[in-house]
Amino acid sequence: MDIERKQTKTRMSRIVKHNGVIYLCGQVCQDASQNITVQTQTMLDKVDNLLAEAGSDKAHILSATLYIKDMKYFSDMNAVWDAWVPEGHAPARACVEAKMARSELLVEISVIAAEKPSII
C-alpha cells in the first residue's frame, strides 16, 4: 500500500497515512499566550480536525504522546484531556516533561490513529 502524505512542507507532513494507520505530526495550541487549559483544548481541537481530514476521529486513536513544559501543569492538562477522550476509548499514552520549541508553548501532542472502517 502506498504512503499518503497531506499538508506536506519542506520539513514535515502534518498527516501521513499507511496501511490504515494515521500519523499526525506534533500539534500545539492556536494561541501560546493562553493558559494550559486553553492551550490544551485548542491543541486537541486541531487533532480533531486533522483526524477528520484523514478519515478518523479521537475514538480511533491508538497512541498519544504528550510533551508538557512543566509537570506543574499536569493536572490542569489532564482535566481537559479526560473530558476530550471518549469513555472506553483511552489510547496508549505517555506524558513527558520537555523543553518546547518556543518558550511560551506549554504542551504538544503527537498522535497515531487507525482509519475508521468504511461503511458500504
| pLDDT value at residue 50 | 97
Domains of the chain: 4-114 (3.30.1330.40)
Cell readout for 43 is 491543541
| pLDDT value at residue 80 | 98
| pLDDT value at residue 119 | 73
Cα 6 to the chain's mean position, in Å?
Answer: 16
Cell readout for 15 is 498527516
Cα gap 20→42, rounded to integer Å: 26
| pLDDT value at residue 42 | 98
Q: Model pTM greater than 0.85?
A: yes
Sign of torsion over alpha carbons 91, 96, 98, 103 = positive
Radius of gyration of the chain (CA): 14
> What is the pLDDT tens value at each position of the chain, 120 positions in all?
699 999 999 999 999 999 999 999 999 999 999 999 999 999 999 999 999 999 999 999 999 999 999 999 999 999 999 999 999 999 999 999 999 999 999 999 999 999 998 776
Cα gap 28→118, rounded to integer Å: 29
Provide the β-strand partners of residue 68.
Answer: 97, 107
| pLDDT value at residue 55 | 95
Tell me whether strands 4-8 and 13-18 are parallel, antiparallel or unpaired: antiparallel
